[in-house]
């Protein structure tokens, strides 16, 4: 069965893995079944132009149980979690939380990541916070560039940031680093219901 949503690209309906919709809502602590498809979220999203499709469509896919399509797109990785969409949402749906949990779900189920370079950047940022309790931007950028093997790309931006003292040469650690590292140790993997999407 095919349905057409706002941008006229078909949503392919298939079997719905049992219990995943409830678990996604539980983990995100928000009820996306209340979505009216008013599209206020997508209209206000500052990075909508770069996404495969807007956040309203992600919600629609989840409502229809199309979890694979909801995970395998650039949208969930391009979202910067700015919360503009949720502020605009008349149903108070926490869309950034949904994007977060979809990213986690994609990783846990070894789903195809359409924008692996964004995931690499995420990983470098998290590693930096684990090491120092805060981000050391210069190191993040250098490690990311090494991984991408794009040594000279954006070099002019880096030099400008250094000259304006927006980048620090050496990292500094927060005083309560042990507490921050304790948070990472406490994080437990989500136990997804059987019938995961792969
Ligand atoms: S703003 Fe809220 S209700 Fe409207 S489409 Fe987006 S998520 Fe749905
Ligand atoms: S939180 Fe994500 S989806 Fe929502 S407006 Fe910001 S970038 Fe767009």
Determine whether the shortest distance from the Cβ of 81 to ligand 2 is under 6 A: yes
pLDDT tens sequence across 112-162: 998 999 999 999 999 999 999 999 999 999 999 988 888 788 888 888 988
Report whether pLDDT(45) > 50. Answer: yes
Where is 61: in which H helix or E strand?
helix 55-63
Residue from 41, 88, 95, 103 whose mutation best tests the ligand 2 pocket (most atoms within 8 A of CB)? 95
Quote the percentage of the chain above a pLDDT of 90: 68
Residue 19's pLDDT is what? 85
DSSP states of 74-125: SHHHH-----HHHHH-TT---HHHHHHHHHHHHHHTT---S-HHHHHHHHHH
> Where does 2-108 sit in CATH, by number?
1.10.1060.10
Residue 18's pLDDT is what? 61
The residues with which 167 forms a beta bridge, in sequence order, are none
Query: Domain coordinates of the chain in residue numbers?
Result: 2-108, 116-186
């Amino acid at each position: 069965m095919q349905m057409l949503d706002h941008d006229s690209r078909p949503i392919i309906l298939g079997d719905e893995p049992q219990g995943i919709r409830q678990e996604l809502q539980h983990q995100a602590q928000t009820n996306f079944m209340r979505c009216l498809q008013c599209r206020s979220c997508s209209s206000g999203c500052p990075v909508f132009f770069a996404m495969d499709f807007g956040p309203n469509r992600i919600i629609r896919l989840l409502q229809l149980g199309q979890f694979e399509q909801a995970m395998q797109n650039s949208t969930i990785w391009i979202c910067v979690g700015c919360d503009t969409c949720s502020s605009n949402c008349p149903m108070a749906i926490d869309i950034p939380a949904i994007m977060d949990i979809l990213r986690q779900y994609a990783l846990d189920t070894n789903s195809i990541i359409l924008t692996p370079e964004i995931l690499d950047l995420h990983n470098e940022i998290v590693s930096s916070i684990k090491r120092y309790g805060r981000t050391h931007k210069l190191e993040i950028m250098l490690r990311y560039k090494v991984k991408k093997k794009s040594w000279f790309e954006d070099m002019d931006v880096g030099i400008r940031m250094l000259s304006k003292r927006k980048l620090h040469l050496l990292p500094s650690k927060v005083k309560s680093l042990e507490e921050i590292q304790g948070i990472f140790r406490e994080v437990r993997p989500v136990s997804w219901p059987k019938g995961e999407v792969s």
